[in-house]
A = this chain, B = another copy of it.
Amino acid sequence: MTALWLIVLCGVLSVVYAIWATSSVLGADAGSPRMQEIAGAVREGAQAYLRRQYSTIGLVGIVIFLLLAYFLGVYVAIGFAIGAILSGAAGFIGMNVSVRANVRTAQAATTSLAGGLELAFKAGAITGLLVAGLALLGVTLYFGFLTYSLKLAPDSRTVVDAMVALGFGASLISIFARLGGGIFTKGADVGGDLVGKVEAGIPEDDPRNPATIADNVGDNVGDCAGMAADLFETYAVTAVATMVLAAIFFAKTPILANMMTLPLAIGGICIITSIIGTFFVKLGPSQSIMGALYKGLIATGILSLIGIAGVIYYLIGFGKLDGVDYTGAALFECGVVGLVVTALIIWITEYYTGTDYRPVKSIAQASVTGHGTNVIQGLAVSMEATALPALVIIAGILVTYSLAGLFGIAIATATMLALAGMIVALDAFGPVTDNAGGIAEMAGLPKEVRKSTDALDAVGNTTKAVTKGYAIGSAGLGALVLFAAYNQDLKFFVAGSAQQHTYFAGVNPDFSLNNPYVVVGLLFGGLLPYLFGAMGMTAVGRAAGAIVEEVRRQFREKPGIMQGTDKPDYGKAVDLLTKAAIKEMIIPSLLPVLSPIVVYFVIYAIAGGGAAGKSAAFSAVGAMLLGVIVTGLFVAISMTSGGGAWDNAKKYIEDGHFGGKGSDAHKSAVTGDTVGDPYKDTAGPAVNPMIKITNIVALLLLAILAH
């Protein structure tokens, strides 16, 4: 009980930090009236979009809430609501800070790079810590309420199902937010660039471009709110899955409650280390932005090591644990592996997306020979970028499994995610600086300001890729954990089939690769990320095409826009994208929700129904959970790293290499950047929540069938 209160305290600390940082951000100079006017337009657009997005998701959410309440009881449904509401809140608050920090960052950058970085990073840290803090508070408080106030056993079905439903709520918000936000932001970006940069020959963020406000709105709703929801669900689902495994592996041991608390405690201590880490982010004399961010990250990492050791020692000790053949110390070592995996994935992502290394330079080089070679090299880099992260994940699985079995893998994943506060902070400062650059451009601030914000933005491209690689990497490492949760749940129901879970009588799933239903499940799971990715890409293409038409129409009907004598209608583009994004996000988002259910019943029917049909269907669904990760991992990493590399190859050329701005190489690089946009900001990152939803729906399906 004390432990839970301490964890809650950590969560509260993150909220306190967020309040303090928000007041500090809002206290900064908001710039000239012209700047405030632009920022106001961006803010309004972003809020209007998020309102519509949340109302749409709300409708879906209410339906699911009622279904869950009907099938699994009200506590499970409340869990779902908590996950959904807190996930939405993290994104909503983060975005509201972001749309206020942007103009202040632009203003701060007029004096110094360090000032801009400080403000932008602080805004990012608010989102980061709220993501981690609210997720932790939600899971901990509801778990505490169920187990202490309602006196339910920690491993009772209601508690487990409620925790899973909490993860489901978060995932559902997340996939809609990632996809809707991603379609909005990239529709604006791609459409605006195509017609502005390429056709009209005006620079990015030129106020004459009617899509420019929408582009800045997109940064906030996609890269900030969408990303926050994504990481919230990754955090929540991982914590929940680890708790479910603990409930199974340590059932009927005296340390059960403590083992279930462990992932939460690791999350709690890492919130404190993340808060401390934020104060280490300071521009050194080398003026290296990445260096400043790394200082914060390394501080957080080292402090977390110590903190996690303390938490493990306090909760379960370093000695041998009850009921298993490994020690608390081994679990600590698994935590270390989680930190090392995080560090390696960050380092690899920086290598593939940073402007200092071979991959980005090779894309820039290939741009000299044309659009085609730029895209070919970009695709090659994107595919190559999957190999090392996959090997790191493989090594992580092998090492942690040998240390402490499946639970070791779970602890490594939980530790990885415990750093989310800091990682999201690194990422969420990206849209702020991107917006600051846009505002600087539109408000006609001096060129040096734009140079500062551009430098911040280039780093933002890498940190954005890092977060996505990290999120999907944790899914890869956690693949076995999620599958194990499914498998153990299934075993539990089968074991209890004689008494209450009669649906599972005679069910005997076979997860061997010899089983054709397993191969079928793997292949079906494998196709989901491809189909989902295709839908996301098509949606962006369609939205961008609509924007191109709209901007062309405005240019045609108001020739004064280009001469600067007439003002473009920014609101029209924002409106158009809002409608498009909301409409386009629905069907792809339902794909992972419905797939496990459809696969289950189709295979059940094909395999002849009865217990044999159920066994076949459960095997196929289980294999599907791994299939979706096997291809999803590669699709997601290739898209997010490839997209980042394309974007920075363009920036590298703009820095004066291979002919610089306006050269043919630059034009080719803009094409590559355009292609990379939906890759890295729409389809790629949405694969992560998609994988989680598939897994979580499968768990809920089991629970519903058992009722």
Contact = CB atoms under 8 A, between A and B. Distances in A.
Interface of A: 190-191, 193-195, 198-199, 362, 366, 369-373, 375-377, 379-384, 386-387, 390-391, 393-394, 397-398, 401-402, 406, 409, 476, 479-480, 483-484, 487, 511-514, 516, 518-520, 522-524, 526-527, 530-531, 533-535, 537-538, 540-541, 544-545, 548, 603, 606-607, 622-623, 626-627, 630-631, 633-634, 638, 670-671, 673-675, 678-679
Contacts of A633: 523, 526
B397 A541 contact: no
A480 B383 contact: no
9 contacts: A194-B370, A194-B373, A373-B545, A376-B537, A380-B537, A394-B524, A487-B514, A511-B512, A671-B671
A390 B511 CA distance: 21
Given A372-B194, A397-B520, A544-B369, A387 B530 contact: yes
A480 B514 CA distance: 7
Contacts of A390: 523-524, 526-527
Contacts of A630: 522-523, 526, 627, 630-631
Interface centre among A373, A397, A402, A483 (most CB of B within 10 A): A373
Contacts of A673: 372
A671 B371 contact: yes
A59 B323 CA distance: 58
Contacts of A679: 379
Nearest to A546: B369
Select the residue from A370, A380, A384 with max chain B CB neighbours within 10 A.
A370
A466 B544 CA distance: 32
Contact of A480 (B382, B398, B516): B516
Contacts of A538: 362, 377, 380, 384
Contacts of A373: 190, 194, 541, 544-545, 548, 674
A384 B534 CA distance: 5
Contacts of A198: 370, 372
Chain A facing B: main interface SS: helix
Nearest to A544: B373
Contact of A606 (B398, B484, B523): B398
Contacts of A530: 383-384, 386-387, 634, 638
A473 to B, nearest CB: 11
Interface centre among A381, A402, A513 (most CB of B within 10 A): A513
B383 A675 contact: no
Q: How many copies does the complex hold?
A: 2
A540 B375 CA distance: 12
Given A198-B370, A390-B527, A376 B514 contact: no
B371 A371 contact: yes
Contacts of A369: 191, 194-195, 544-545, 548
Contacts of A372: 190, 193-194, 198, 670-671, 673-675
A409 B526 contact: no
A476 B397 contact: no
A479 B376 CA distance: 30
A150 to B, nearest CB: 33
A376 B509 CA distance: 41
Contacts of A194: 369-370, 372-373
A103 B580 CA distance: 52
A394 B198 CA distance: 44
Contacts of A526: 390, 630-631, 633-634
Q: Which among A362, A372, A387, A626 has the greatest number of chain B C-beta atoms within 10 A?
A: A372
A85 to B, nearest CB: 33
B634 A376 contact: no
Given A194-B369, A511-B512, A384 B531 contact: yes
Nearest to A511: B513
Nearest to A513: B511
A671 B544 CA distance: 19
A209 B123 CA distance: 56
A524 to B, nearest CB: 6
Among A199, A398, A519, find the residue whose CB has the most chain B CB atoms closer than 10 A.
A519
A190 B371 CA distance: 11
A674 B370 contact: yes
Given A375-B675, A380-B537, 12 more contacts: A194-B370, A372-B671, A376-B678, A390-B526, A397-B523, A483-B514, A483-B519, A511-B514, A519-B626, A522-B522, A526-B630, A630-B630
Given A516-B401, A530-B634, A523 B671 contact: no
Contact of A520 (B362, B394, B607, B622): B394
B513 A476 contact: no
A576 B631 CA distance: 37
